Amino acid sequence: MRWVKVLLVSASFGVPLLSATGSSAEESFQCPKTKEWVSLGDTPSVVLRECGQPKMREDVTQVGCTDKGMCFTGKVGERWVYDFGRTDFVYYLLFQDSRLTQIETGGYGKSN
């Protein structure tokens, strides 16, 4: 069986995880409010302790189809969004298998 396409998407918005909108992938970041560091490999409980509750959480699903047209969708992780306000960057965190596997930095936040 040969897989034709696989795409990781955010369940809420249907957008690819890595985008070409000016965000960049990082290995760690410092939470502006607590000054604590979060790094790849951290568990969700460590991130919650260091940064508090995220602004938003959403499931990440994988969509795949075979060359015979059989398709499936399944949850493969969770994406958290931290918006620390207008003077700090927005951080997008991807958790897979209870570990932080990707950190993206976006533009400046919108929250107060």
Q: Extract the tokens encoding 105.
A: 């930095």
Helix ranges restricted to H, the chain: 44-51
Model confidence at 12, pLDDT cuts 50, 70, 90, reads: very low
Model confidence at 18, pLDDT cuts 50, 70, 90, reads: very low
103 has a pLDDT exceeding 80: yes
Query: What is the per-residue pLDDT for 1?
Result: 42
Phi, psi of 47 (to 5 degrees): -65, -40
Can you tell me which residue has the tokens 């995880």? 17
Q: Where are the beta strands (DSSP E) in 1-112?
A: 3-10, 24-26, 28-30, 37-39, 56-66, 71-83, 89-96, 99-108
Instruction: List Cα–Cα distances, 95 to 20, 79, 89, 108, in angstroms.
Output: 20, 6, 19, 22
pTM of the model: 0.73
Most confident of 10-24, 28-42, 98-112: 28-42
8 - beta bridge partners?
Answer: 62
Model confidence at 13, pLDDT cuts 50, 70, 90, reads: very low
For 43-63, write each residue's pLDDT tens digit.
Answer: 999 999 999 999 999 999 988
Model confidence at 67, pLDDT cuts 50, 70, 90, reads: confident
Query: What is the per-residue pLDDT for 111?
Result: 66
Q: Are 36 and 29 in contact (CB under 8 A)?
A: no
- Cβ neighbours of 7 (radius 10 Å): 12
